[in-house]
Structure 1
Amino acid sequence: MIAVLVIDMQNAFFEEPVLQRRQEEVVAACNSLTSAAREAGAKVLLVGTEHERDKSTWSLNMLDDDQGFIFRGSDQARFVPGLVTADIPQMVKTRDSAFMGTDLGMRLRNWEVETVILAGVSAHNCIAQTAADAFAHNLRLIYAAEAIATENPEAAEAVLRVLTREYRQRVLPLDEIKALFGSGPAGAGA
């Protein structure tokens, strides 16, 4: 079984000018990916970051700077306009990796997932950390090329180069990913 995880497609991250310029195209790519996945019977999960104002969920850099963001219920925490969210399960995280401190591993086991496809932002942070943890959970991983963005292309390229080489993770265009969905029940054997 294949699952698509759409990571951090939230207003806060698209305040960054580099990501803001790519917002429409990344949203369209994410929507195309999730639509194809759902049509094929694959699982889709929207993952967002949220923090509490009392600092209890803040990461070390937030504590060091005494500045939090993406507070629960804020406009920053909302998914970006245009992203299809209706009837798609959602999960909240407080760290870069979607596995850290969440029930993601259990959800994927319950869904009998063997391959995870990642989309969203940012390639060098939350996408990369989630990918590394997917490897630690013995999950195959594919990066949806057009559906991933970053505000730091150099760091993203370096991190993805290591992850694809060392962890045998693949970066594929949407057309090839969509073809995987057609290779049996919800992409079995991807």
Structure 2
Amino acid sequence: MATRTAGAADRDQVAALLDTAFHDDPVSGWVFPEEERRRAVHGLFMGCFLDAALAGGRVDLLEDGSAAALWLSVPAGEPEEEEDDMPALMRRTADPDNERAELVGRLTGAIHPTERAHAYLLLVAVAPDRQGEGLGTALLTPVLEQCDRDGLPVYLEASSARSRELYLRLGFADRGEPLRLPDGPLMWPMWREPAAG
């Protein structure tokens, strides 16, 4: 399956993919519990992650547009205070009256590892009608192999039990206890040490 790096010209296509792929995700359902509201603002919310990856990371896209992976490179040490912090931006952009649109970012940020530089897999999106075909694995495997060659660990938060199972198969392990969103679902912080060559 051919993969390419997405750019600004692909933003609308990838944002639509993220919106549909995560519409029924447990965490998206927690952030936006009312279906009508989720339909209205979920794409704006997911677009914040995409914009961060386009600006400071990388977006891998299958040529047919059926799957995308959003990556950031995270240095060791506590993150510097940003002028416009991501959780506040997510809330302001998507749903200013919804504190959960910010809280999910605050809670995941609080458990993000800081002791070692690593690749951060923000999101992997697969079109709903193509899920279960191995597209996510096909998209991630070359990057994970490169991380192995570079001696670089990888971190992510799995937002569903199904995605956690995929990541376990790809060499990730649970990193500490799952994060339970208040009155909501679990998120699993996961870490992958580079494989010895």
Q: Do the structures match in fold with TM over 0.5?
A: no
Range into which the TM-score falls when normalised by the shorter chain: 0.3 to 0.5
Higher helix share: 2
